[in-house]
Amino acid sequence: MIVTIDGPAGTGKSTVARMLAERLGFEFLNTGAMYRAVAYACLQRHLDLSNETSVGEVANSLEILFSRNRLLLGNDDVTDSIRGQEVTQSASIVAANPIVRMRLVEMQRLVGRETSLVTEGRDQGTTVFPDAECKFFLTASPQERARRRQRELEEKGDFISLEDLMEQQELRDRRDETRLCSPLKPAPNAMIIDTTEMTLSHVASYLEQLVQRACPA
């Protein structure tokens, strides 16, 4: 069984998807981390991110592996290195590259073929798993999303103003929503859930109820 959770950054997708996967006893797939890993590898190689061919070659050559909630690029654990500001901005650029998307979508479908999955991203319900049994699309107000990102960065010792975060967020949203290849949008049969006023554990319990109602065991 596949449960997809899509939506823009800061809506709580990753945390909720991880909690929901735990409750259901499913695997959890964080596809944003895969785009971040490609961006990280390109930055390490000092590539021009607008060069579709060379960025695509890097994506095709990478070995990306999740192991116990850590992300490995070959033998390197890059889980923490991919969360910084530079990778965040760069990931939204490489995510518009069709060669990168083709490669990562193929990897994501392989995972979904082998196991029951809660998978989160931007295109999981629309492009990657159009036949998923349960599809959710999370939203939240731009202010609340930026506040969540600010808290996440503060926990790592990075202090960035809400205004700057809102500006960066708007730019990334625009890129994600307007790209030609798999733009960010809800699948027609996705349930849309506004998380602005909810705690993330409340969202996870709510989604668990909805999954159980849609697909009773």
Contacts with ligand DC, residue ranges (CB under 6 A) = 9, 31-32, 35-36, 91-92, 95, 121-123, 172, 176
Q: How far is the CB of 217 from ligand DC (least distance, A)?
A: 28
Decide if 92 contacts 175 (C-beta within 8 A).
Answer: yes
Q: Which is nearer to ligand DC, 123 or 150 (CB)?
A: 123
Phi/psi of residue 136, nearest 5 degrees: -125, 150
Q: Which is nearer to ligand DC, 23 or 185 (CB)?
A: 185
98 — alpha (psi -120 to 50), left (phi > 0) or beta?
alpha
Q: How far is the CB of 212 from ligand DC (least distance, A)?
A: 25
Q: Which is nearer to ligand DC, 180 or 217 (CB)?
A: 180
Q: Which is nearer to ligand DC, 41 or 91 (CB)?
A: 91
Helices (H), 25-78: 31-44, 52-61
Q: How far is the CB of 38 from ligand DC (least distance, A)?
A: 9
Q: Which residues of 125-149 are buried (b: 16+ CB within 10 A; e: fewer)?
A: bbbbbeebebbbbbbbeeebbbbbb
Looking from the CA of 139 toward its CB, the CA atoms found within 13 Å total 9
Q: How far is the CB of 24 from ligand DC (least distance, A)?
A: 20
Q: How far is the CB of 51 from ligand DC (least distance, A)?
A: 18
Cα separation, 92 vs 105, whole angstroms: 16
Which run of H or of E encompasses 102? helix 98-114
Q: Which is nearer to ligand DC, 34 or 204 (CB)?
A: 34
Decide if 96 contacts 179 (C-beta within 8 A).
Answer: yes
